[in-house]
């Protein structure tokens, strides 16, 4: 189906480090099928990765929003599928990393 195809294309783009394009594909997959938890998880992973790198790239502030958006996606996954263990672990890690960045002042 279209949502799966968009999610799969997003995966290819993610692996190519084409994060903006991957985010677009995951968001389009979500719009096609809002109950499909996998693109929420994948989009959360991209946002998490951006949150861990943007502060180092001289974009303070945006990285915190990336973490917030990643956590929102991981929470949505768990709302749709409470047994999705990778989403639970990713949510915990995003929370810890955001707190650590705040402690360090970036």
Q: What is the pLDDT along the chain (106 residues), one digit of tens a residue?
A: 999 999 999 999 999 999 999 999 999 999 999 999 999 999 999 999 987 765 544 454 455 788 899 999 999 999 999 999 999 999 999 999 888 877 877 6
| Domain residue spans of the chain | 2-104
Token pair in block for residue 62: 């945006």
pTM here is 0.87
Secondary structure (H, E, C), 42-85? HHHHHHHHHHHHCCCCCCCCHHHHHHHHHHHHHHHHHHHCCCCH
- The pLDDT score that the predictor gives to residue 57 is 45
The CATH number fitting domain 2-104, selected from 2.60.120.10, 1.20.210.10, 1.25.40.10, 3.90.650.10 = 1.25.40.10
């Amino acid at each position: 189906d279209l949502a799966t195809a968009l999610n799969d294309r997003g995966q290819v783009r993610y692996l190519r480090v084409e994060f903006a394009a991957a985010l677009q594909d995951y968001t389009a997959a979500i719009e096609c099928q809002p109950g499909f938890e996998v693109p929420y998880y994948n989009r959360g992973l991209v946002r998490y990765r951006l949150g861990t790198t943007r502060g180092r790239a001289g974009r303070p502030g945006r990285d915190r929003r990336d973490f917030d958006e990643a956590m929102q996606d991981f929470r949505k996954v768990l709302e749709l599928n409470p047994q999705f263990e990778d989403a639970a672990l990713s949510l915990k890690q995003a929370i810890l990393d955001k707190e650590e960045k705040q402690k360090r002042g970036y």
